[in-house]
Amino acid sequence: MFNRFHLVKKYLPYYLTASNGKGHGVHSPFVFNFIRYVLNDKKAYPCYSIIEEKRKELLSNETVIEVEDFGAGSSVIKTNKRIVKDIASSSLKPKKYAQLLFRMVQYNKPKTIIELGTSFGISSAYLAAADNGPDVYTCEGASSIAAIAKQNFEELGLKNIHLTEGDFSHTLPAVLSQAGKIELAFIDGNHRKEPTLNYFQQLLNHSTGSTILIFDDIHWSAGMEEAWEEIKQHPAVSLTIDLFFIGIVILSPDINHKQHFTIRF
Protein backbone atom coordinates (compact mmCIF):
# COMPACT_ATOMS: atom_id res chain seq x y z
CA MET A 1 0.00 0.00 0.00
CA PHE A 2 1.15 3.54 -0.77
CA ASN A 3 1.88 5.57 2.29
CA ARG A 4 3.01 9.20 2.10
CA PHE A 5 4.61 8.86 5.53
CA HIS A 6 6.62 5.87 4.23
CA LEU A 7 7.96 8.02 1.36
CA VAL A 8 8.93 10.93 3.63
CA LYS A 9 10.55 8.56 6.13
CA LYS A 10 12.64 7.06 3.32
CA TYR A 11 13.53 10.36 1.66
CA LEU A 12 15.37 11.85 4.65
CA PRO A 13 18.06 9.13 4.96
CA TYR A 14 18.41 9.12 1.15
CA TYR A 15 19.01 12.86 1.14
CA LEU A 16 21.50 12.71 3.99
CA THR A 17 23.54 9.74 2.76
CA ALA A 18 23.43 10.06 -1.05
CA SER A 19 26.57 11.14 -2.94
CA ASN A 20 26.46 14.80 -3.83
CA GLY A 21 25.95 14.24 -7.56
CA LYS A 22 29.29 15.77 -8.58
CA GLY A 23 31.10 12.48 -9.17
CA HIS A 24 33.97 13.08 -6.69
CA GLY A 25 35.46 9.80 -5.52
CA VAL A 26 33.29 7.65 -7.81
CA HIS A 27 35.49 4.85 -9.16
CA SER A 28 33.03 3.30 -11.60
CA PRO A 29 33.67 4.72 -15.11
CA PHE A 30 30.03 4.10 -16.05
CA VAL A 31 28.73 6.04 -13.05
CA PHE A 32 31.34 8.79 -13.40
CA ASN A 33 30.31 9.35 -17.04
CA PHE A 34 26.63 9.12 -16.13
CA ILE A 35 27.03 11.84 -13.51
CA ARG A 36 29.19 14.06 -15.67
CA TYR A 37 27.56 13.77 -19.09
CA VAL A 38 23.97 12.77 -18.33
CA LEU A 39 22.85 13.74 -14.84
CA ASN A 40 24.59 17.14 -14.87
CA ASP A 41 24.06 18.00 -18.55
CA LYS A 42 22.27 21.37 -18.24
CA LYS A 43 21.89 22.03 -21.98
CA ALA A 44 18.40 23.11 -23.09
CA TYR A 45 17.68 20.58 -25.86
CA PRO A 46 15.12 21.78 -28.45
CA CYS A 47 12.69 18.92 -27.69
CA TYR A 48 12.33 20.09 -24.05
CA SER A 49 10.18 23.12 -24.82
CA ILE A 50 8.14 21.29 -27.49
CA ILE A 51 7.22 18.40 -25.19
CA GLU A 52 6.65 20.67 -22.19
CA GLU A 53 4.20 22.67 -24.32
CA LYS A 54 2.24 19.43 -24.80
CA ARG A 55 2.32 18.80 -21.03
CA LYS A 56 0.97 22.34 -20.49
CA GLU A 57 -1.95 21.61 -22.84
CA LEU A 58 -2.75 18.43 -20.89
CA LEU A 59 -2.57 20.30 -17.58
CA SER A 60 -5.31 22.66 -18.73
CA ASN A 61 -7.47 20.07 -20.53
CA GLU A 62 -10.87 19.88 -18.76
CA THR A 63 -12.22 16.94 -20.80
CA VAL A 64 -13.79 14.18 -18.70
CA ILE A 65 -12.81 10.65 -19.76
CA GLU A 66 -13.82 7.18 -18.60
CA VAL A 67 -10.72 5.37 -17.33
CA GLU A 68 -10.16 1.71 -16.45
CA ASP A 69 -8.14 1.40 -13.25
CA PHE A 70 -4.94 -0.63 -13.68
CA GLY A 71 -2.68 -1.92 -10.93
CA ALA A 72 -1.45 0.41 -8.27
CA GLY A 73 -2.13 3.28 -10.72
CA SER A 74 -2.43 6.72 -9.23
CA SER A 75 -2.33 7.35 -5.51
CA VAL A 76 -4.51 10.44 -5.80
CA ILE A 77 -7.55 9.79 -8.00
CA LYS A 78 -9.88 6.90 -7.22
CA THR A 79 -12.99 7.32 -9.42
CA ASN A 80 -13.39 6.04 -12.97
CA LYS A 81 -14.57 9.31 -14.48
CA ARG A 82 -11.51 11.50 -14.60
CA ILE A 83 -10.51 14.90 -15.87
CA VAL A 84 -7.53 14.89 -18.20
CA LYS A 85 -5.75 17.71 -16.33
CA ASP A 86 -6.05 15.82 -13.01
CA ILE A 87 -4.45 12.70 -14.47
CA ALA A 88 -1.76 14.86 -16.06
CA SER A 89 -0.91 16.52 -12.77
CA SER A 90 -0.76 13.29 -10.74
CA SER A 91 0.60 10.64 -13.15
CA LEU A 92 3.18 12.12 -15.47
CA LYS A 93 6.86 12.07 -14.61
CA PRO A 94 7.96 15.63 -13.72
CA LYS A 95 10.14 17.31 -16.34
CA LYS A 96 13.32 16.91 -14.29
CA TYR A 97 13.06 13.10 -14.56
CA ALA A 98 11.45 12.95 -18.01
CA GLN A 99 14.32 15.06 -19.40
CA LEU A 100 16.82 12.81 -17.64
CA LEU A 101 15.27 9.88 -19.57
CA PHE A 102 15.84 11.82 -22.80
CA ARG A 103 19.49 12.44 -21.90
CA MET A 104 20.04 8.78 -21.03
CA VAL A 105 18.82 7.83 -24.50
CA GLN A 106 20.75 10.67 -26.16
CA TYR A 107 23.98 9.55 -24.45
CA ASN A 108 23.67 5.75 -24.51
CA LYS A 109 21.92 5.52 -27.91
CA PRO A 110 19.77 2.44 -27.31
CA LYS A 111 18.07 1.31 -30.53
CA THR A 112 15.14 -0.48 -28.92
CA ILE A 113 13.24 0.83 -25.91
CA ILE A 114 10.29 -0.56 -23.95
CA GLU A 115 8.05 1.60 -21.78
CA LEU A 116 5.44 0.17 -19.43
CA GLY A 117 2.92 2.93 -18.63
CA THR A 118 2.41 5.39 -21.49
CA SER A 119 -0.29 7.54 -19.92
CA PHE A 120 -0.58 10.60 -22.23
CA GLY A 121 2.82 9.90 -23.77
CA ILE A 122 5.00 12.59 -22.22
CA SER A 123 7.81 10.28 -21.10
CA SER A 124 7.43 8.24 -24.34
CA ALA A 125 7.97 11.45 -26.31
CA TYR A 126 11.16 12.22 -24.39
CA LEU A 127 12.44 8.66 -24.94
CA ALA A 128 11.69 8.88 -28.67
CA ALA A 129 13.09 12.38 -29.25
CA ALA A 130 16.78 11.45 -29.07
CA ASP A 131 18.90 11.96 -32.21
CA ASN A 132 19.42 8.24 -32.88
CA GLY A 133 15.64 7.82 -33.46
CA PRO A 134 15.16 4.70 -31.34
CA ASP A 135 12.15 2.42 -31.69
CA VAL A 136 10.02 3.01 -28.59
CA TYR A 137 7.50 0.27 -27.77
CA THR A 138 5.14 1.69 -25.16
CA CYS A 139 2.25 -0.08 -23.38
CA GLU A 140 -0.92 1.37 -21.84
CA GLY A 141 -3.97 -0.38 -20.40
CA ALA A 142 -6.54 2.42 -20.34
CA SER A 143 -7.90 2.88 -23.87
CA SER A 144 -9.17 6.46 -23.40
CA ILE A 145 -5.72 7.49 -22.12
CA ALA A 146 -3.97 5.63 -24.95
CA ALA A 147 -6.14 7.48 -27.50
CA ILE A 148 -4.90 10.84 -26.20
CA ALA A 149 -1.29 9.58 -26.22
CA LYS A 150 -1.65 8.53 -29.88
CA GLN A 151 -2.95 11.94 -30.81
CA ASN A 152 -0.02 13.57 -28.97
CA PHE A 153 2.51 11.40 -30.85
CA GLU A 154 0.93 12.45 -34.13
CA GLU A 155 0.94 16.13 -33.22
CA LEU A 156 4.58 15.88 -32.11
CA GLY A 157 5.46 14.11 -35.36
CA LEU A 158 6.97 11.13 -33.51
CA LYS A 159 6.61 8.16 -35.85
CA ASN A 160 9.07 5.94 -33.97
CA ILE A 161 6.65 5.19 -31.09
CA HIS A 162 4.64 1.95 -31.24
CA LEU A 163 1.77 1.94 -28.73
CA THR A 164 0.16 -1.32 -27.57
CA GLU A 165 -3.09 -1.22 -25.61
CA GLY A 166 -4.02 -3.74 -22.90
CA ASP A 167 -2.97 -5.08 -19.53
CA PHE A 168 0.83 -5.51 -19.37
CA SER A 169 0.37 -9.10 -18.21
CA HIS A 170 -1.25 -9.88 -21.58
CA THR A 171 0.63 -7.54 -23.89
CA LEU A 172 4.24 -7.62 -22.66
CA PRO A 173 5.24 -11.08 -23.98
CA ALA A 174 4.05 -10.24 -27.52
CA VAL A 175 5.58 -6.75 -27.44
CA LEU A 176 8.90 -8.20 -26.31
CA SER A 177 8.95 -10.79 -29.08
CA GLN A 178 8.13 -8.09 -31.63
CA ALA A 179 10.84 -5.78 -30.25
CA GLY A 180 13.50 -8.52 -29.95
CA LYS A 181 16.49 -7.44 -27.87
CA ILE A 182 15.94 -4.51 -25.49
CA GLU A 183 18.61 -1.94 -24.78
CA LEU A 184 16.62 0.31 -22.45
CA ALA A 185 13.33 -0.04 -20.57
CA PHE A 186 11.33 2.34 -18.40
CA ILE A 187 8.93 0.58 -16.02
CA ASP A 188 6.35 3.15 -14.93
CA GLY A 189 3.08 1.34 -14.26
CA ASN A 190 1.58 -1.16 -11.81
CA HIS A 191 3.95 -0.32 -8.96
CA ARG A 192 3.53 -3.51 -6.94
CA LYS A 193 6.14 -6.04 -5.89
CA GLU A 194 5.15 -9.19 -7.78
CA PRO A 195 4.25 -7.56 -11.12
CA THR A 196 7.45 -5.48 -10.98
CA LEU A 197 9.59 -8.58 -10.44
CA ASN A 198 7.70 -10.35 -13.20
CA TYR A 199 8.37 -7.49 -15.70
CA PHE A 200 12.02 -7.48 -14.58
CA GLN A 201 12.36 -11.19 -15.36
CA GLN A 202 10.70 -10.84 -18.77
CA LEU A 203 12.92 -7.87 -19.68
CA LEU A 204 15.97 -9.78 -18.50
CA ASN A 205 15.18 -12.53 -21.01
CA HIS A 206 15.36 -9.90 -23.78
CA SER A 207 18.42 -8.03 -22.58
CA THR A 208 21.62 -7.50 -24.58
CA GLY A 209 25.20 -7.23 -23.32
CA SER A 210 24.43 -3.70 -22.13
CA THR A 211 20.83 -3.11 -21.16
CA ILE A 212 19.61 -0.31 -18.91
CA LEU A 213 16.39 -0.78 -16.91
CA ILE A 214 14.80 2.22 -15.18
CA PHE A 215 12.25 1.53 -12.46
CA ASP A 216 9.95 4.29 -11.30
CA ASP A 217 8.95 4.84 -7.66
CA ILE A 218 11.27 2.26 -6.10
CA HIS A 219 10.58 3.67 -2.61
CA TRP A 220 6.85 4.23 -3.11
CA SER A 221 5.74 1.42 -0.78
CA ALA A 222 7.17 -1.43 1.29
CA GLY A 223 6.38 -3.80 -1.62
CA MET A 224 8.31 -1.67 -4.11
CA GLU A 225 11.26 -1.44 -1.70
CA GLU A 226 11.30 -5.24 -1.53
CA ALA A 227 11.15 -5.53 -5.31
CA TRP A 228 14.05 -3.04 -5.64
CA GLU A 229 16.16 -4.98 -3.10
CA GLU A 230 15.53 -8.28 -4.95
CA ILE A 231 16.43 -6.69 -8.28
CA LYS A 232 19.66 -5.27 -6.81
CA GLN A 233 20.67 -8.71 -5.53
CA HIS A 234 19.89 -10.53 -8.80
CA PRO A 235 23.06 -12.16 -10.25
CA ALA A 236 22.45 -10.60 -13.69
CA VAL A 237 22.57 -7.08 -12.24
CA SER A 238 25.99 -5.43 -12.50
CA LEU A 239 25.34 -1.97 -11.12
CA THR A 240 22.47 0.07 -9.68
CA ILE A 241 21.94 3.78 -9.16
CA ASP A 242 19.28 4.95 -6.71
CA LEU A 243 18.05 8.49 -7.46
CA PHE A 244 15.17 7.94 -4.99
CA PHE A 245 12.24 8.57 -7.34
CA ILE A 246 13.77 6.27 -9.95
CA GLY A 247 16.16 3.34 -9.76
CA ILE A 248 18.56 2.57 -12.60
CA VAL A 249 19.79 -0.97 -13.25
CA ILE A 250 22.71 -1.82 -15.52
CA LEU A 251 23.03 -5.32 -16.94
CA SER A 252 26.51 -5.61 -18.37
CA PRO A 253 28.89 -8.56 -18.28
CA ASP A 254 31.78 -6.08 -18.72
CA ILE A 255 31.27 -4.89 -15.13
CA ASN A 256 32.44 -7.81 -13.02
CA HIS A 257 32.22 -6.25 -9.57
CA LYS A 258 28.61 -5.55 -8.52
CA GLN A 259 28.16 -2.04 -7.10
CA HIS A 260 25.24 0.03 -5.78
CA PHE A 261 25.25 3.81 -5.82
CA THR A 262 22.89 6.32 -4.24
CA ILE A 263 23.16 9.74 -5.82
CA ARG A 264 21.41 12.99 -4.95
CA PHE A 265 19.45 14.40 -7.86
Ligand X SMILES: C[S@@+](CC[C@H](N)C(=O)[O-])C[C@H]1O[C@@H](n2cnc3c(N)ncnc32)[C@H](O)[C@@H]1O
Task: State the minimum distance, in angstroms, from the CB of residue 73 to ligand X.
Answer: 5
Q: How far apart are CA 163 and CA 135, in angstroms?
A: 11
Tell me the sheet residues that pair with 139: 116, 164
Q: State the minimum distance, in angstroms, from the CB of residue 92 to ligand X.
A: 4
Question: What b/e string do you get for 146-163 counting C-beta neighbours within 10 Å, with b at 16 or more?
Answer: bebbbebbeebebebbbb
Residue nearest to ligand X (CB): 141
Task: Give the shortest CB-13-to-ligand X separation in angstroms.
Answer: 25
CB 201 within 8 A of CB 193: no
Q: Which is nearer to ligand X, 183 or 217 (CB)?
A: 217
Which regions of the chain does DSSP assign to beta strands (E)?
Answer: 64-66, 81-83, 112-116, 135-140, 161-165, 182-187, 207-216, 239-242, 246-251, 259-262
Smallest distance, ligand X to C-beta of residue 123, A: 4
Cβ proximity to ligand X: between 122 and 231 the closer is 122
Rounded distance, CA 57 to CA 162, Å?
A: 22
Q: Considering beta carbons, is residue 32 or 57 the nearer one to ligand X?
A: 57
Q: From the CB of 51, what's the least distance to ligand X, in Å?
A: 10
- DSSP 8-state secondary structure symbol assigned to residue 37: I
31 vs 92 by CB, closer to ligand X? 92
Number of H helices and E strands in the chain, helices first, is 10, 10
Nearer to ligand X, 106 or 238 (CB): 106
237 membership: H or E segment, kind and range: none
Q: Which residues bind ligand X (CB under 6 A)?
A: 70-71, 73, 91-93, 117, 119, 122-123, 140-142, 145, 167-168, 188-190
Dist. CA 253–CA 255, nearest whole Å: 5
- As measured in angstroms, the least distance from the Cβ of 258 to ligand X is 28
User: Based on CB atoms, which residue is closest to ligand X, 183 or 188?
Assistant: 188
3-state secondary structure of 92: coil
- Provide the minimum distance between the beta carbon of 139 and ligand X in the complex, in angstroms, as a whole number: 6
Closer to ligand X at the Cβ: 113 or 239?
113
Inter-residue contact 150 to 171 (CB < 8 Å): no
